[in-house]
């Protein structure tokens, strides 16, 4: 049975994104009658013309593997069509052009957590890159982008961090005074010649504002981004169903990061050749008092990704405070990490010794940042050493080379 599932997943990866194996009438579903037709072609009782979609490799015959792929589509649904993101053609001014409706009047927002924000994205790619069997993924909490130029330089150097095909970024500023009003995700994409999409987690509010402001320029936006060598489509921001409010009203004594909004996962399908790779950029809830909310956020994304037939890569800051203890003791107490591992995801860095796994060091060494892989294999993985990347952020970047052909995992 496992062999059949692996074969079906590999065949799904090899298909054009708009095709569905065994879908004879092109209605995005595969029925029992269509499976019977495919079997008839395989047995020589019918011609290929009766169902060209059953011949997924255009080889002129229908094989057992192609019937397995059609059965998988019948049971699990057809692969999604790829709708490329509508890339922005103009350069926004992030100080003036806000993505979130609530930024216009934040202290009168109807909801302080579930805010209404657009996704931003632009493309700086000049060519369509050739597909590769293995891609390099970097997940990095970039600490707002305080050291953005040095971070980009490290990526372009390709020594401590391999040259990436896709970056899953968290703590990304947009139009904030503290990061010189830069659009950090856009700066990454422009410097690398990549595509990017960005989703806002929080509208950052000044703690010292009066009853009527000021909001601008201290007000800004902060969230997650995907920066990719390959085109991105089917883009969604998933404002987690379980969330907490960070909002504090004007005049509140000693506010700690007063904000509108809540944690968001950014999802996209990356088109590599004729295949799709599902990506999730994550930054889960960060307070110990909201640990159940964090775990529910992990379950939400892990469960959605587990329904995808092709390769799935989720990466970012899980705020997995107990992962290190779990690895030391062989326990399973960290609910965020277990949400993924229990749903068939592989920890890409499990191949590393525990002593090399820490990604954050305040107040103690912690393993917070992960690349999690489903329906794909891990060829290699690493973490930039603290002595070389510790000055770039309070989190070390983690990277993995993912084999898109290997559906069996590492």
Q: Dihedral of the CA atoms 372, 378, 80, 40 (nearest 10)?
A: -140
For 247, other C-beta atoms within 10 Å of its C-beta total 21
Cβ distance 232 to 195 under 8 Å? yes
Cβ distance 184 to 242 under 8 Å? no
Cβ distance 201 to 262 under 8 Å? yes
CA–CA distance, 312 with 9 (Å, rounded to integer)? 11
Domain ranges (residues) in the chain: 2-76, 101-403
State residue 210's pLDDT score: 64
Residue 49 contacts by C-beta under 8 Å, 6 or more apart in sequence? none
Average confidence (pLDDT) per 10 residues, the chain, 410 residues: 34 46 90 95 93 87 90 83 95 95 93 97 96 97 98 95 97 95 98 98 86 67 98 98 93 83 98 95 96 98 93 98 97 98 98 96 96 97 97 98 78
CA–CA distance, 387 with 157 (Å, rounded to integer)? 16
DSSP state of 179: G
Cβ distance 279 to 267 under 8 Å? yes
CA–CA distance, 159 with 161 (Å, rounded to integer)? 5
State residue 216's pLDDT score: 60
The CATH class of the 101-403 domain is alpha beta
List the one residue out of 395, 227, 374 whose CA is nearest residue 311. 374
State residue 8's pLDDT score: 35
State residue 313's pLDDT score: 98
Cβ distance 28 to 76 under 8 Å? no
């Amino acid at each position: 049975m496992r062999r059949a599932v692996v074969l079906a997943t590999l065949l799904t990866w090899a298909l054009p994104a708009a095709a569905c194996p065994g879908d004879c009438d092109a209605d995005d579903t595969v029925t029992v009658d269509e499976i019977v037709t495919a079997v008839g072609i395989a047995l020589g009782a019918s011609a290929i013309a009766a169902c060209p979609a059953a011949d997924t490799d255009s080889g002129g015959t229908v094989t057992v593997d192609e019937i397995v792929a059609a059965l998988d589509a019948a049971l699990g649904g057809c692969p999604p069509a790829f709708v490329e993101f509508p890339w922005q053609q103009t350069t926004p001014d992030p100080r003036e052009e806000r993505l979130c409706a609530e930024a216009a009047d934040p202290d009168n927002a109807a909801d302080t957590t579930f805010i209404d924000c657009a996704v931003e994205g632009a493309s700086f790619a000049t060519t369509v890159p050739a597909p590769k069997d293995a891609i390099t993924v970097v997940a990095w909490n970039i600490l707002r982008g305080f050291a953005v130029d040095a971070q980009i330089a490290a990526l372009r150097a390709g020594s401590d961090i391999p040259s990436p095909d896709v970056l899953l970024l968290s703590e990304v500023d947009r139009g904030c005074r503290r990061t010189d009003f830069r659009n950090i995700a856009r700066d990454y994409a422009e410097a690398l010649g990549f595509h990017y999409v960005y989703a806002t987690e929080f509208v950052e509010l000044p703690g010292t504002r009066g009853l009527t402001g000021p909001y601008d320029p201290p007000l800004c936006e902060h969230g997650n981004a995907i920066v990719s060598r390959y085109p991105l489509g089917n883009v969604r921001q998933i404002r987690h169903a379980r969330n907490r409010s960070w909002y504090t009203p004007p005049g509140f004594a000693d506010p700690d990061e007063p904000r509108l909004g809540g944690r968001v996962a950014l999802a996209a399908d990356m088109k590599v050749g004729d295949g799709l790779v599902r990506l999730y950029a994550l930054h889960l809830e960060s307070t110990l008092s909201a640990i159940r909310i964090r775990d529910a956020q992990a379950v939400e994304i892990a469960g959605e990704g587990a329904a995808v037939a092709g390769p799935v890569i989720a990466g970012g800051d899980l705020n997995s405070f107990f992962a290190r203890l779990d690895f030391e003791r062989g326990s399973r107490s960290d609910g965020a990490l277990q949400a993924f591992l229990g749903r068939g995801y592989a920890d890409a860095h499990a191949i590393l010794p525990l002593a090399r796994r820490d990604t954050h060091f305040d107040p103690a060494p912690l393993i917070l940042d992960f690349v999690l892989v489903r329906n794909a294999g891990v060829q290699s993985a690493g973490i930039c050493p603290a002595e070389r990347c510790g000055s770039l952020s309070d989190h070390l970047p983690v990277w993995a080379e993912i084999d898109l052909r290997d559906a069996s995992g590492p």
